[in-house]
Structure 1
Amino acid sequence: MKKEQKESLVFGSNLNFLRTRKKLSQTQLAVDLEIKRTSLIGYEKGVQPPFKVLLQLADYFGISIDALMRYNLSKLGEFELSRIDQGFDVDITGSKLRLLVTTTDKKGKENIELVKQKAQAGYAAGYNDPGFIESLPKFQLPFLSRNKTYRCFQIDGDSMPPVANGSWVTASFVEDWTKLKSGTPYVVVTKDDGVVFKLVYNKIEEEQSLLLVSTNRLYEPYLVSVNSIAEVWKFETFNGFEV
């Protein structure tokens, strides 16, 4: 399927979803937008609307054209949907969720905070708490690029060989989740499962989720909705030292 056809189908589905969510009939919405009802029916079936109508719809529902055209809004959780209802645009990139909390040394250089196994449950709850981040052990790795922000996570379990239980993974912060490369290892911080280290397959555009896969085939892959994700960190290096 061509990109334009796919976007038209996604748009039509989203238009129907948003209209239904607002409990509007096709006639009511057509009157509000000052367009023909037959045109609206066509848009909901995948007919590409003129750009002027796209702007009208984006303003009417308080959502960006990009999200309206490209992302299946019906896959969003209730929290994101309620934010749309309150006038906030949908964010599936992760970049609008929060400001990254970091610490620096006496010279103003960013530290690499250590997140031990026993601290991971606390990290999932306190990742955006400056006091909690300040309390974590810190160190520096001078060979890493200064253009990234890093964190070091202790791996829990045997799901990702050759990275063994208790090993340390140093990872760089990912701001835009839509750019995650499928088949690449990432540390994913979720509100439900805490800190996990997996191969990630990017399904944000199609399903607003990430598929998390273990290298140990005894563990089944599973999907995680972007709504339950707090942070994503890209694997940089690992070792087995003890702290």
Structure 2
Amino acid sequence: MTSQNFYWASNLKFLRNRKKISQESMAEKLGIARSKLAMQETGAVKNLSLEDLIKFSEYFKISIDTLLKVDLAKLGELRLRELEAGNDVYISGGRIRVLSISVDKNNKENVEFVPVKAKAGYLAGYNDPTYIGKLPKLSLPHLPENKTFRMFPTEGDSMLPIPENCLVITEYVTDWTGLKKTPCIVIMRNEQTFLFKMVSSQIDTNRTMLLHSLNPAYEDKEVFAGDIAEIWKYHSHITDVIPSSETLIEELLRTVNEIKVDVKSLKDV
């Protein structure tokens, strides 16, 4: 197959750069020589083998048709993220993925609840209507209409003073570019967990999302936007923990004062 009239070479280079990975590192992951990858990216290979077509398609999780026939560099960020989510623009005609939801007998959207034990299954079936239809369903008052909500459990203390092990009610986010220090549940593709973080988009600069914790004990984390499956914006939360009257700042100041007293006592010894 001749690659002369296709986008194969430019797409390989574009996707590799998008992943922020070197030719040497990518060639190692694919089990090929770096020189062969370089020739693929420059279009020096005029006859593409079936083995190469399949190998690169499986690595990027993008269909061969798309790699050959769609100029990926001209797609918008939202469509690229949908493509990376497994929603192939060539096969689907470039349509954005429709979020799988369930409705009640009055055709009103349910609020699906994703329990802790369903986390692993959700990562595999979040865009499967059959799977979503089997999740527990809730009807919660005072939620805005014409929006999609879902409830997730939280783990850990990275978002104190919001307590751990609470239930977070969230709204589905279609456009991630406007997020700026927005509390969100982030669904990562390759992690069997839900991250509850303050999210800021860095898509326009380096195609990443910055995840920040309210708890200063946790460091910020940058993740590649293509590694994220879904983002759900915080709306409210449910907890059985009675909040302390002491704020986080007050707690920190109290701890610092206790340390000062301990240090002083050591000096006096």
1:201 shift after superposition? 1.5
Greater mean deviation of Cα atoms: 147-156 or 88-97? 88-97
Local SS of the residue matching 1:192: coil
Q: C-alpha separation between the residues in 2 aligned to 1:152 and 1:79?
A: 29
| Among 83, 86, 101, the residue aligned to 2:68 | 86
What is the CA deviation profile of residues 213-234 of structure 1, one whole-angstrom value per residue up to 9, with x for unaligned ones? 1111222211111111111111
Q: C-alpha separation between the residues in 2 aligned to 1:125 and 1:91?
A: 25
| Among 182, 187, 190, the residue aligned to 2:188 | 190
Q: C-alpha separation between the residues in 2 aligned to 1:82 and 1:215?
A: 43
Q: C-alpha separation between the residues in 1 aligned to 2:120 and 2:76?
A: 25
Local SS of the residue matching 1:164: coil
1:236 shift after superposition? 0.7
1:83 shift after superposition? 7.8
Local SS of the residue matching 1:86: helix
> Who is 2:212 aligned against?
213
> Who is 1:103 aligned against?
102
> Who is 2:223 aligned against?
224
1:20 shift after superposition? 8.6
Q: C-alpha separation between the residues in 1 aligned to 2:224 and 2:62?
A: 11
The one-letter amino acid paired with 1:159 is: S
1:116 shift after superposition? 1.5
RMSD: 2.9
Cα distance change of structure 1 residues 140 and 20 upon mapping to structure 2, 3 Å threshold: farther
The higher relative CO (CA closer than 8 Å, separation ≥ 6) is in 1
What is the CA deviation profile of residues 53-108 of structure 1, one whole-angstrom value per residue up to 9, with x for unaligned ones? xxxxxxxxxxxxxxxxxxxxxxxx94579786333444532456422000011111
Q: C-alpha separation between the residues in 2 aligned to 1:21 and 1:178?
A: 32
Identity of aligned residues (%): 35
> Who is 1:169 aligned against?
168
Local SS of the residue matching 2:163: coil
Local SS of the residue matching 1:125: helix
Local SS of the residue matching 2:117: helix
Q: Which has the larger radius of gyration?
A: 2
Q: C-alpha separation between the residues in 1 aligned to 2:202 and 2:217?
A: 22
Q: C-alpha separation between the residues in 2 aligned to 1:214 and 1:81?
A: 37
Partners of 1:95 and 1:176 within 8 A in 2: no
The one-letter amino acid paired with 2:213 is: S
> Who is 2:42 aligned against?
23
Q: C-alpha separation between the residues in 2 aligned to 1:86 and 1:163?
A: 48
Cα distance change of structure 1 residues 123 and 20 upon mapping to structure 2, 3 Å threshold: same
What is the CA deviation profile of residues 20-42 of structure 1, one whole-angstrom value per residue up to 9, with x for unaligned ones? 974059xxxxxxxxxxxxxxxxx
The one-letter amino acid paired with 2:235 is: E
The one-letter amino acid paired with 1:188 is: V
Q: C-alpha separation between the residues in 2 aligned to 1:207 and 1:174?
A: 20
Q: C-alpha separation between the residues in 1 aligned to 2:170 and 2:40?
A: 40
Which sections of structure 2, spanning at least 5 residues, go unmatched?
A: 1-13, 19-37, 45-58, 88-96, 242-269
Cα distance change of structure 1 residues 177 and 95 upon mapping to structure 2, 3 Å threshold: farther
Q: C-alpha separation between the residues in 2 aligned to 1:107 and 1:224?
A: 40
Give the alignment of 1:225-240 within 5 angstroms.
225-240=224-239
> Who is 1:202 aligned against?
201
What is the CA deviation profile of residues 118-141 of structure 1, one whole-angstrom value per residue up to 9, with x for unaligned ones? 222221121011222111111112
Partners of 1:92 and 1:226 within 8 A in 2: no
How many residues end up aligned between the 2 structures?
Answer: 176
